[in-house]
């Protein structure tokens, strides 16, 4: 049976989901992931040793960053959500210890991959008492040597929980699913969070994914960020916003990228309801601007809440990634998780992530390695900032478009084949289809596609599949 905590967390997501003072620095946020490789692989629940091993593959296949689970001590339990109930700021979790974390960061750096770590600035645990995975004892509002009762909000609603998601005060001072809500306006709390974050910076992280960022006022986060010892890090903020009153996602763009949850919803609706043609106007929907949006097809909450996931039929999950990694909107994250029948289920295989060449093993899905998704990471890197071109469609479930004269994709989300002449804008020649394989020397491991006079003439794309070609995969 689904836990009360998870039920509350998923419901929330659907409605919105003692240190010395540190010196202040000018805030300089990285806008989009820095460097030439921007795509983030979210290796959900992988432990530090397995991420260290996987980073070599990530770097070789075009990923620039890996997002990992929170590093701090948390409550005990096998469920995935225990990672998000902080107990202390010791670098000790189900994923490993401080030495293993540092080794992971160094291994990833050596592979050209930056580590973005999930941080919990909003809250502590959501249970009455216990001990953490590193042995620290606590009660709901007392964490010895760290926080006491005066360091938390008590908003006065029943159970101090959020009752009205349109009420800014409740969203930012009441408890999210019973999680003890920190007084982030307090200098003591801020300095404690700064000390923890600085420790992670010392260990070499490239950025932070701020969990439950919507529940912390922007002003409080600006103060925290300004005190960190290193500026120019990448931030992506979890701000669940689908429109309407209350706290909005656009408020957070001054402190980093913001996760655009309306994109996740649109991917589900477009690919499951048979109208991917509506995606043509994505840049004109009044959402976050492309340079401020972090987009993804799924995350750990959404895949458990009826959105697209590895369980989706007819290649919908893979096809949505073809779109996400080819359409010029946002900085993309590829979520990579594990098989589950119970929404609470934690990671398999003792938390050690394992993959085959293009699929998961030992209970892991390894979506980041799926042939079509991995191939599209190379497509994304190759087309860069090239503009959208040559948009065409068949029925509402069939679209094709180019990225300048560098790349071209065809997405057939319909059950029937789509046959027509496609104007690609690419130079004549033979290309490897990176959805079905890759270029390997002078051959393709998947399909090959021949462009003549800039076109694919009378070309047929089977149902529930895609074709993607770019100049980096030309024979």
Q: Is position 238 annotated as part of the catalytic site?
A: yes
- Look-up of token digits 């609603």: 157
- Look-up of token digits 């560098």: 406
Task: Please state the φ and ψ torsions of residue 294, each to the nearest 5 degrees.
Answer: -105, 120
Q: What does the pLDDT look like over 416-471, one tens digit per residue?
A: 999 999 999 999 999 999 999 999 999 999 999 999 999 999 999 999 999 999 99
Three-point CA angle 184, 185, 186, nearest 5°: 90
Q: What does the pLDDT look like over 351-369, one tens digit per residue?
A: 999 999 999 999 999 999 9
Q: What does the pLDDT look like over 152-162, one tens digit per residue?
A: 999 999 999 99
- Residue 378's Cβ-side half-sphere holds a number of Cα atoms within 13 Å equal to 23
Structure tokens at 356: 């085959």
Q: What is the pLDDT of residue 129?
A: 98
Residue 32: which pLDDT band, with cuts at 50, 70 and 90? low
- Determine the average pLDDT of the residues in 168-172: 98
What CA–CA distances, in Å, run from 226 to 35, 190, 219? 23, 11, 11
Q: What does the pLDDT look like over 77-126, one tens digit per residue?
A: 999 999 999 999 999 999 999 999 999 999 999 999 999 999 999 999 99
Exposed, middle or buried by CB within 10 Å (0-12, 13-18, 19+), for 251? middle
Q: What is the pLDDT of residue 157?
A: 97
DSSP, res 427: P
Q: Which of 54, 73, 181, 238 is catalytic?
A: 238
Q: What does the pLDDT look like over 189-221, one tens digit per residue?
A: 999 999 999 999 999 999 999 999 999 999 999
Q: Residue 332, Cβ neighbours under 10 Å: how many?
A: 23
Structure tokens at 31: 């806008």
- Which residues lie closer than 8 Å to 474 by C-beta, 6 or more apart? 427, 429, 430, 431, 432, 439
Residue 283: which pLDDT band, with cuts at 50, 70 and 90? confident
Structure tokens at 471: 């100049």
Decide if pLDDT at 10 tops 50: no
Q: In angstroms, rounded to a whole number, what is the distance separating the alpha carbons of residues 272 and 264?
A: 12
Q: In angstroms, rounded to a whole number, what is the distance separating the alpha carbons of residues 470 and 433?
A: 8
What CA–CA distances, in Å, run from 88 to 75, 77, 140, 390? 9, 16, 12, 54
- 52 close to 103: Cβ distance less than 8 angstroms: yes
Structure tokens at 5: 């905590």
Task: Please state the φ and ψ torsions of residue 443, each to the nearest 5 degrees.
Answer: -140, 170
Q: What does the pLDDT look like over 328-354, one tens digit per residue?
A: 999 999 999 999 999 999 999 999 999
- Which residues lie closer than 8 Å to 27 by C-beta, 6 or more apart? 222, 225, 226, 231, 255
Q: Which residues partner with 97 through β-bridges? A: 92
Three-point CA angle 400, 309, 445, nearest 5°: 55
Q: Which of 54, 73, 83, 211 is catalytic?
A: 211
3-state secondary structure of 396: coil
3-state secondary structure of 466: strand
The DSSP element (H or E) to which 386 belongs, if any, is none
**Prediction pTM value:** 0.93
What CA–CA distances, in Å, run from 103 to 51, 55, 91, 195, 373? 10, 12, 13, 21, 28
Decide if pLDDT at 66 tops 70: yes
DSSP string, 22-37: PPP-----BSSSSSS-
Decide if pLDDT at 70 tops 70: yes
Q: What is the pLDDT of residue 208?
A: 98
């Amino acid at each position: 049976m689904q836990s009360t905590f998870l039920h509350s967390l998923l419901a929330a997501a659907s409605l919105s989901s003692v240190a010395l003072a540190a010196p202040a620095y000018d805030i300089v946020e990285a806008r989009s992931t820095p460097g030439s490789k921007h795509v983030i692989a979210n290796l959900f629940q992988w432990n530090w040793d397995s991420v260290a091993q996987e980073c070599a593959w990530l770097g070789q296949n075009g990923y620039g960053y890996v997002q990992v689970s929170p590093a701090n001590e948390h409550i005990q339990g096998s469920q995935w959500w225990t990672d998000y109930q902080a107990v202390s700021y010791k670098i000790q979790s189900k994923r490993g210890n401080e030495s293993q974390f540092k080794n992971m960061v160094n291994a990833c750096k050596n592979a050209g991959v930056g580590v973005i770590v999930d941080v919990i600035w909003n809250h502590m645990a959501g249970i009455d008492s216990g001990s953490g995975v590193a042995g620290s004892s606590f009660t709901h509002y007392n964490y010895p040597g760290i926080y006491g009762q005066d360091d938390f909000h008590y908003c006065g609603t029943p159970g101090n929980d959020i009752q009205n998601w349109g009420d800014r005060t409740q969203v930012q001072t009441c408890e999210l699913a019973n999680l003890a809500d920190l007084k982030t306006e307090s200098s003591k709390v801020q300095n404690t969070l700064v000390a923890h974050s600085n420790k992670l910076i010392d260990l070499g992280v490239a950025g932070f994914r701020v969990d439950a960022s919507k529940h912390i006022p922007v002003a409080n986060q600006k103060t925290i960020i300004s005190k960190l010892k290193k500026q120019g890090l990448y931030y992506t903020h979890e701000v669940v916003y689908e429109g309407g009153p209350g706290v909005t996602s656009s408020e957070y763009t001054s402190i980093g990228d913001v996760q655009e949850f309306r994109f996740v919803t649109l991917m589900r609706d477009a690919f499951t309801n048979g109208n991917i043609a509506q995606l043509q106007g994505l840049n004109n929907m009044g959402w976050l601007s492309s340079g401020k949006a972090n987009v993804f097809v799924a995350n750990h909450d959404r895949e458990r809440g009826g959105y697209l996931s590895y369980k989706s039929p007819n290649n919908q999950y893979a096809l949505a990634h073809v779109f996400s990694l080819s359409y010029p909107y946002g900085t993309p994250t590829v979520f990579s998780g594990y098989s589950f029948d119970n929404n609470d289920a934690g990671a398999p295989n003792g938390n050690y992530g394992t993959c085959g060449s293009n699929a998961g093993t030992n209970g892991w899905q390894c979506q980041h390695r799926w042939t079509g998704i991995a191939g599209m990471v190379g497509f994304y890197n190759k087309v860069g900032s090239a503009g959208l071109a040559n948009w065409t469609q068949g029925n509402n479930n069939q679209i094709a478009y180019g990225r300048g004269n560098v790349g071209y994709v065809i997405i057939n989300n319909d059950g029937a084949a789509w046959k027509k002449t496609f104007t690609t804008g690419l130079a004549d020649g033979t290309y490897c289809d990176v959805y079905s394989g890759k270029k390997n020397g002078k051959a393709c491991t998947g399909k090959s596609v021949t462009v003549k006079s800039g076109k694919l003439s009378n070309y047929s794309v089977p149902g529930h599949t895609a074709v993607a070609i770019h100049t980096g995969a030309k024979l």
